[in-house]
A and B are shown apart, each in its own frame.
With several copies, the nearest count.
Chain A
Amino acid sequence: MWPVDQRTRLLEAALFAAPRPLALDELAVLDADATEDDWRRALAELSDHYQTEGHGVELAEVAGGWQITTLPIFAEAIERAAFAARPAKLSGAALEVLAIVAYRQPVGRAEIEDIRGVACGGVLRMLQERGLLEVAGRSEGLGRPILYATTPLFLELVGLADLADLPRTEELAVALKPLQAEPPAGAPEPPQPAEP
């Protein structure tokens, strides 16, 4: 059983919250009543506890101060898991640009902006940086604009084996306007509601 020394608990909390190793004189600010020897005892107690009570972390003396670090034996598993920053969701605008490129590739910026009605240089750059779009060449047209296409990572993320597996746009277009049947050729009357 660990003797619950309040100072040792404070030490653990402080070392945990600090963004860098803390030296003895920095610890002094935490508790005006404690001497350096008191802090040395607390450090020894905490270190002892981590060693004997089966923890995943240890107390390390680093750069003239003290720091809690994870045990090296777990380093590989943690590195493999790569808990980086939160994966970010794509914005609505980014999704729209992706959708246009997916169906029209290779496609230039002008055409994308024509369809969406707003500039999208920043979105295109971001999608390139994140590996979802790539430059597929240049158009033969005026100014030889850059053409964009989707990457294999894009297919992987949406879970498709091939671009041909994308839902057909015709189907989507029909799904969008379910109440409008094809008017008979040359018929002057307005579109008839579709039969249920």
Chain B
Amino acid sequence: MIAGPTPHSPEPGTPATPPAMPGGAATGARPGAALAEPAGAPAEGGFVVSLERYSGPLDLLLSLIKREEIDIWDIPIARIADQFLQAIHVLGLDEAAEYLEMAARLLRIKAQMLLPRRGDEEPWEDPRHELVRRLLEYQQIREITDWLAAAARRRAECYVRGWIPAAPDVPAPPPVLDLTELVEAVERVLAMMPDPVIMRVMPRPLNVEGATRRVLDLLAERERFGWRDLLGERPTIVDVLSCLVSLLELARAGTLTLAQRRPFTPFDVARGPAYQAA
């Protein structure tokens, strides 16, 4: 809804009606809008726009058609398309995707209407047909919405009991559930079940003996060495685990000692008290 001046002058080709937004007659028939809380207080000054006024591009289009007293079965698409573009500009809706999509649709229909029709033997499909169908469908929903709004208002005049005696500490009622629902759920689950992927687990025994030999070889060479020296360039997980187990075994026997200088750093391996050169 526009309040205040609308900074627009009639464009050539549009009817002489001012480009003010449809209001008045169209809005009077919308109890649903009366029920709506405004999305926020509109700013003062300039022109004030309530986006809540229109629930979508179809609503805006219907309002334009009503205001112009246009026969919905024979929409002058060029005129309505122009007015729609103008309206979304004034309403500041020309960045809303849904309104832009409708604008594009109107322009496409406008172009299709200009195409020369082929001969009479070829049945002509009115490019406006789908739009008319959607408009009527939406208009029906609006009528139902208004009916619901009135019903809700009537109902709101009847207060229900304000004070409900505290129920004794009864557990929450059991949920509603029946076997049919469960069976339907099973069917849904069966339908969504992925095909089983069968993976075989291959036994890969740790090679602790081999690792122990490598540790002892290194200790024979050097008094101390780093954890990384023990492992090759790109050790496999089995190599790492094998070395770790062998180091722990040898440390327990006192053959070597393990020391970590700082947390989260590689540890050093050194000859232990029980080390005997091989």
Interface, chain A (partner B; CB < 8 A): 13, 16-20, 58, 60, 67-72, 75, 78-79, 82-93, 95-96, 98-100, 102-103, 114-119, 130-132, 137-138, 144, 153-154, 156-160, 166-167, 169, 172-176, 179, 183-188, 190-191, 194
Contact = CB atoms under 8 A, between A and B. Distances in A.
Nearest to B152: A158
A18 B159 CA distance: 9
Interface in B14-69: 30, 32-33, 35-37, 52, 55-59
The 7 closest A-B pairs by CB, nearest first: A159-B155, A17-B159, A69-B158, A95-B185, A75-B157, A185-B123, A118-B56
A137 B26 CA distance: 38
A103 B143 CA distance: 12
Contacts of A154: 177
Interface in B173-192: 173-179, 181-192
Contact of A160 (B144, B179, B188): B179
B32 A92 contact: yes
Given A114-B194, A167-B179, 18 more contacts: A16-B159, A20-B163, A72-B154, A82-B168, A89-B175, A92-B36, A92-B188, A98-B145, A103-B186, A115-B193, A116-B138, A118-B98, A153-B174, A158-B148, A173-B143, A176-B136, A191-B137, A194-B140
B199 interface: no
B259 interface: no
Contact of A90 (B125, B152, B164, B191): B152
Interface residues of B, number: 75
A184 B73 CA distance: 12
B180 to A, nearest CB: 9
B178 A68 contact: no
A130 B174 contact: yes
B140 A172 contact: yes
A132 B173 CA distance: 12
Contacts of A87: 156, 173-176
Contact of A118 (B57, B159, B163): B57
B134 A158 contact: no
Most buried by B among A60, A91, A144, A191: A91
Given A84-B167, A92-B145, A160 B190 contact: no
A4 B178 CA distance: 41
A19 B136 CA distance: 40
B170 interface: yes
Contacts of A187: 125-126, 129
Contacts of A19: 161-164
Nearest to B144: A99
